[in-house]
């Protein structure tokens, strides 16, 4: 009950801020942008991209986070539907569990564009835009082999195996690395996608495996956590790579610590999602395929300075 009240209050406050009075009547209405956690730079970049594009196209916006909680996501979706939003940009809380959430919105004639995470059903969301995690994973894994060589010991720190994108990235790593029989993975641990568990995992792995040449990580915070651990153990010789492309990773690459990452185009995916939603609202169709992939960009010392807020400047 209190949780529902809190959510309702948050939405009301956000609406109040985004839509003073009935100001949206003069514009094209309001688009809801729902992402995981706004204190995470990746999701904040998604929200920023979607919000700026929506405003550019004449919409008001409401930006909310579900904190990867499926129940909260459902509550927020129902609340914004009740508020009469024209459409929803959603980075969902769980691929399978979100099928019903998206269906609820569509049944109420509110179109949904999914960004970052797909759902395992076609024809419900008007678009499903995701990062090409396999391309991202294989590119960084190939660079990893080229850097540490085709022989030796390495460690994999996965980001969060409850997240399908993290599973896909791990699969991509192994598609490349498992083709080198003399390259041995001596430890594999899930670091829950965060810096501190990444550091803790690396601390304990280092106790047992001192000969490792490299650490490949499922996301950026975990890679940075591994670097923190290796630095405190005086192991600057160990090559660390990851995926995400945050400003922190960029700075670490420029400082010569992180050797490579792949930048996911968080802003790009969100901007395209809003464009498709706008087109659908105006014409009843997007004119494009429902499922689309976005390329990850390999970032090394050579091009790291082009990264800002998950946007790659040419």
**Which residues form the interface with other proteins (CB under 8 A)?**
120-123, 130, 132-135, 138, 142, 150, 168, 171-172, 175-176, 179-180, 289-295
Nearer residue to other proteins within complex by CB, 164 or 235: 164
If the CB atoms of residues 206 and 269 are measured against other proteins, the closer one turns out to be: 269
- CA distance linking residue 83 with residue 208, whole number of Å: 56
Q: Indicate the residue among 7 and 264 with the shorter CB distance to other proteins.
A: 264
Measured CA to CA, the distance from residue 290 to residue 22 in angstroms comes to 33
- Cα 260 to chain center, whole Å? 18
As a whole number of angstroms, the distance between CA 182 and CA 137 comes to 20
What's the min distance (Å) between Cβ of 125 and other proteins?
12
Q: Which is nearer to other proteins, 60 or 163 (CB)?
A: 163
Quick one: 104 or 292, whose CB is closer to other proteins? 292
- Least Å distance between CB 91 and other proteins? 17
Nearest distance from C-beta of residue 156 to other proteins, angstroms? 17
Minimum distance from residue 214 beta carbon to other proteins (Å): 17
Which residues touch 59 (CB under 8 Å, ≥6 apart)?
A: 27, 28, 29, 30, 31, 86, 274, 278
Q: At closest approach, how far in Å is the CB of 236 from other proteins? A: 26
Structure tokens that stand for 83 in this block: 């508020």
Report how far apart, in Å, the C-alpha atoms of 216 and of each of 93, 116, 266 are. Answer: 25, 22, 21
Strands 297-299 and 291-294 turn out to be unpaired
What's the closest the beta carbon of residue 291 comes to other proteins, in angstroms?
A: 6
- State the Cα–Cα distance between residues 168 and 71, nearest whole angstrom: 25
Min dist. Cβ of residue 289 to other proteins (A): 5
- Expressed in percent and rounded to 5, the helix, strand and coil fractions of the chain are 45, 20, 35
Pairing mode, strands 239-241 and 214-217: parallel
Contacts 24+ apart (CB under 8 A), 241-244: 241/140, 241/143, 241/144, 241/147, 241/214, 241/215, 241/216, 241/217, 242/140, 242/216, 242/217, 242/218, 243/133, 243/136, 243/137, 243/140, 243/169, 243/217, 243/218, 243/219, 243/296, 244/42, 244/219, 244/220
Closest distance of CB 202 from other proteins, Å = 27
Between 57 and 99, CB nearer to other proteins: 99
Report the nearest approach of other proteins to the CB of residue 139 (Å). Answer: 9
Contact 205, 198 (CB under 8 A): no
- Residue 66 vs 169, nearer CB to other proteins: 169
Q: What is the DSSP letter of 287?
A: S
Nearer to other proteins, 207 or 313 (CB): 313
């Amino acid at each position: 009950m209190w949780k529902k009240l809190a959510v309702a209050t948050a939405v009301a406050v956000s609406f109040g801020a985004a839509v003073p009075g009935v100001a949206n009547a003069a514009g094209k209405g309001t688009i809801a942008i729902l992402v995981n956690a706004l204190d995470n730079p990746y999701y904040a970049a998604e929200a920023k991209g979607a919000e700026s594009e929506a405003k550019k196209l004449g919409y008001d916006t409401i930006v909310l986070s579900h904190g990867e909680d499926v129940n909260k996501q459902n509550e927020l979706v129902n609340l914004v539907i009740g508020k009469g939003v024209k459409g929803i940009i959603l980075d969902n809380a769980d691929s399978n569990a979100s099928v019903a959430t998206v269906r609820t919105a569509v049944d109420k004639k509110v179109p949904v564009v999914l960004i970052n995470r797909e759902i395992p059903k076609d024809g419900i969301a008007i678009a499903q835009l995701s990062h090409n995690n396999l391309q991202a994973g294989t590119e960084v894994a190939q660079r990893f082999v080229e850097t540490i060589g085709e022989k030796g010991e390495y460690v994999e720190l996965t980001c969060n195996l409850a997240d399908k994108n993290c599973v896909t990235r791990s699969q991509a790593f192994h598609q490349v690395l498992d083709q080198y029989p003399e390259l041995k993975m001596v430890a594999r641990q899930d670091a829950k996608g965060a810096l501190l568990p990444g550091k803790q995992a690396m601390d304990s792995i280092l106790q047992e495996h001192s000969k490792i040449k490299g650490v490949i990580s499922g996301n950026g915070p975990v890679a940075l956590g591994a670097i923190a651990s290796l630095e405190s153990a005086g192991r600057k010789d160990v090559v660390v790579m990851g995926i995400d492309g945050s400003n922190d990773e960029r700075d670490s690459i420029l400082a010569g610590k992180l050797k490579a990452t792949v930048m996911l185009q968080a802003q790009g995916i969100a901007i395209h999602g809003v464009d498709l939603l706008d087109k659908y609202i105006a014409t009843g169709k997007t004119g494009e395929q429902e499922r689309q992939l976005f390329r990850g960009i390999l970032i090394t010392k050579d091009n790291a300075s082009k990264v800002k807020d998950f946007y790659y400047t040419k």
